[in-house]
Amino acid sequence: MRIGVYFCRCGGIISEKIREEAVRAGLAAVAADLHVAAFDFLCSEEGKGFLAQDLREHGVERVVIGACSPREHESTFRRVLTGAGLNPFLLQMANVREQIAWVTDGEGEATAKAVRYLRAAVRRVSLHQPLLKKEIAVCPEVLVIGGGPAGLKAALTIAQAGRKAIVVEKSPIIGGLPVRYEELFPTLECGPCMLEPVLDEVLHGEAAANIELLTLAEVTGLKGFYGNFTATIRRRPRYVDGTACIGCLQCAEACPASAANPFNYGLSERKAISVPFDGALPNVPFIEPGLCLHLSGEECRACREACPLEGTIRLDEGEELLELQAGAVVVATGAGLYDSRAIPGLGHGILPGVHTAAEFERLLAANGPTGGELAIGAGEGPGTVAIVHCVGSLDPAHREYCSGICCQVAFKFNQLIRKKVPGTRIVHLFREIVVAGKEDSFLYHQARQDEDTVFCRYPEIGALGIRLEDGRMVIEIRHQGGTETIAADLVVLCPAVVPAEGSGELASLLETPLDRWGFFEEMHGRVDPVQSKVKGIYLAGSCQGPMDIRQAMGQGLAAAGAILSRLVPGRRLELPPITAVVAADRCSGCGVCQGLCPFKAMTFDPERRVAAVSEVLCQGCGTCVAACPAGAITGNHFTDAAITAEIEALLS
């Protein structure tokens, strides 16, 4: 076996410290058939050309490269090997730059260490096995979980590329939280106006045919792996045929049953059959089964009788279980707000004048419970609104982080209150104010310049107490030096942004980890911000953490881009061959490996009673290899033999 050792001088950076001739001498007796060569910059085009030619000319069968870190150029040199007709895994790099030339005092010591490293690499590479990349066919369709800004942007982008996206949305409408907001920061753009074109594009645009929208639906299971997932989806009945309905809402008028409307946070009522609010899309009513008299066993058919299109209301519709294929999944399930009832002193849920920011958005909206009319004060002159920032944020007892969007929401409210009820006194109670970004300080400056707006810093949320006194809310702020009180007609709480309800259940069925706050965790928050820890499952929007619409849209777009560039119809998925391999004849079927594998790549073959590795799921970490009590698992490219040979040579 002819082994070629290539010493890269790195333009003198390595060879100034490590003496080339001494290295040649040190390698002389290491292997019977050794070819040693040196070059100035092996990674340069010239260097790669030299390497390819030299490999061929000298009939080199295995390659050692003494150069920089394999993290820098292993893939570069593997490609050279491939080009020269060698298996790319018959290469071992010795990191003589980062681990020797740059960190070792004295030429003599550096050279001696380089010889040990190169000898170890020669020993190791002689034990390498040629490995072949496998390829599998993929399903190019994409499953998007969540129909808010991030999910829809991802689905639309995928659809516009001519690819199919399936959007699974839990609620009866799409658009997520922002469609409930009349105006959006930082420019007070109308929320529905901004989002409706996107929603319309999803429902009726040119690419709509490529989007399968499943509302009132939830993913209940996911099997398989990147390129070939099988999802099970439970779809609750809408009881209204969306393709026939014209959205006239005569059914809702006729319906005799009603209850608190959760889409308006219980601030108004909704009929058993109705839309959540005017303008919600798709414009198709749905029946809340718990409210409907007919579905509760009574004789009522008022909606069906009122409907001008026969057969559109289908009271006998049942739940559906669907199974569908997808090559990739985008999780875009959004976020929720910290439950401010967990901070009892604030009186949320008890005092009538205390609302969360989300509730207040609905009170400001023309399609909300008050038709956008804001009543502040008891009619005698303008009243006072207190806006409490940082509710549950920046506080180790609640959430340590700053959500980064609530200040903007609070200053948006400032403007909207000012517009609706001029003369209102507005008090901002805050711990910190965060308005970073090129457009984002505008609303803040407006509030600062406003003469009826005052700012008051409070020490911590526990120092606030709100009580009802003569029909007004009295806020007590306990400062270190004394207590301050502010009377207000309305208190708006801006709670921390937290993971959406059900994130934990979804994460466990997708087997994607959550971070310590319960948000979906990225592969790498900075360099791989849309990839989850599971291959083929992508993340977008505020399921990853507090985010505004711009960021959420950006993430949706990025997730779609990542999928479109990697999951290409007709292109087969290449599987890296550095995986675990079970030798069935040595496996006793003890199952230790199965419990250890963090990627569920290890399965049990019940017929043969042995473990089996899924080459697609296996990431090649080798935890199972180290654990197997029978030594039945081989870690490709990191075999016991290769590693122990390396250790031995380093110490000889």
Partner 1 sequence: MTEPAFEPRIIGFLCNWCSYAGADKAGAAQVPYPPHVHFVRVMCTGRIDPHFVLQAFAQGADGVVILACHPGDCHYKEGNLRALQRHRLLLRLLGQLGIGEERCRFDYVSAAEGDKLAAVVGDLVKMIRAAGPLPVRPEQEIGRD
Task: Report the interface residues with partner 1, using CB under 8 A.
Answer: 69-72, 95, 97-99, 102-106, 109-110, 112-113, 116-117, 120, 513, 516, 533, 578, 596, 598-599, 619-623, 625-627, 631, 635, 638, 640, 643-644, 646-648, 650-652
Strand pairing of 328-331 and 142-145?
parallel
Closest contact distance (angstroms) between CB of 10 and partner 1 is 12
CA distance 650 to 234: 58
CA distance 191 to 182: 5
Tokens representing 586 are: 């040595």
Q: Based on CB atoms, which residue is closest to partner 1, 95 or 274?
A: 95
CA distance 269 to 272: 10
Q: Residue 130 corresponds to which amino acid?
A: P
DSSP H helical ranges for 128-286:
149-160, 191-204, 250-254
Closest contact distance (angstroms) between CB of 642 and partner 1 is 10
Question: Do 308 and 248 form a contact (C-beta atoms < 8 A)?
Answer: yes
Residue-wise DSSP of 277-290 = STT-SS---EE-TT
CA distances from 236 to 239, 281, 562 (A): 9, 17, 31
- Residue 30's nearest CA partner among 146, 130, 106, 124 is 124
Q: Based on CB atoms, which residue is closest to partner 1, 109 or 432?
A: 109
Q: Based on CB atoms, which residue is closest to partner 1, 106 or 422?
A: 106
Closest contact distance (angstroms) between CB of 601 and partner 1 is 11
* 3-state SS string for 22-48: HHHHHHCCCCCCEEEEEECCCCCHHHH
Tokens representing 297 are: 């066993």
Question: Do 580 and 624 form a contact (C-beta atoms < 8 A)?
Answer: yes
Closest contact distance (angstroms) between CB of 46 and partner 1 is 24
Closest contact distance (angstroms) between CB of 624 and partner 1 is 9
Q: Based on CB atoms, which residue is closest to partner 1, 106 or 318?
A: 106
Closest contact distance (angstroms) between CB of 54 and partner 1 is 25
Q: Based on CB atoms, which residue is closest to partner 1, 365 or 621?
A: 621
Closest contact distance (angstroms) between CB of 648 and partner 1 is 5
Q: Based on CB atoms, which residue is closest to partner 1, 179 or 222?
A: 222
Q: Based on CB atoms, which residue is closest to partner 1, 193 or 583?
A: 583
Closest contact distance (angstroms) between CB of 309 and partner 1 is 53
Q: Based on CB atoms, which residue is closest to partner 1, 13 or 322?
A: 13
Residues sharing a CB contact under 8 Å with residue 150, sequence separation 6 or more, in sequence order: 176, 332, 334, 540, 541, 542, 543, 552, 553, 555, 556, 559
- With vertex at residue 581, the alpha carbon angle to CA 579 and CA 586, rounded to the nearest 5 degrees, is 160
Closest contact distance (angstroms) between CB of 547 and partner 1 is 22
Sheet holding 464-469, edge to edge: 464-469, 472-478, 483-488
Residues sharing a CB contact under 8 Å with residue 197, sequence separation 6 or more, in sequence order: none
Q: Based on CB atoms, which residue is closest to partner 1, 498 or 624?
A: 624
Closest contact distance (angstroms) between CB of 627 and partner 1 is 7
Rg (CA), the chain: 32
Q: Based on CB atoms, which residue is closest to partner 1, 121 or 216?
A: 121
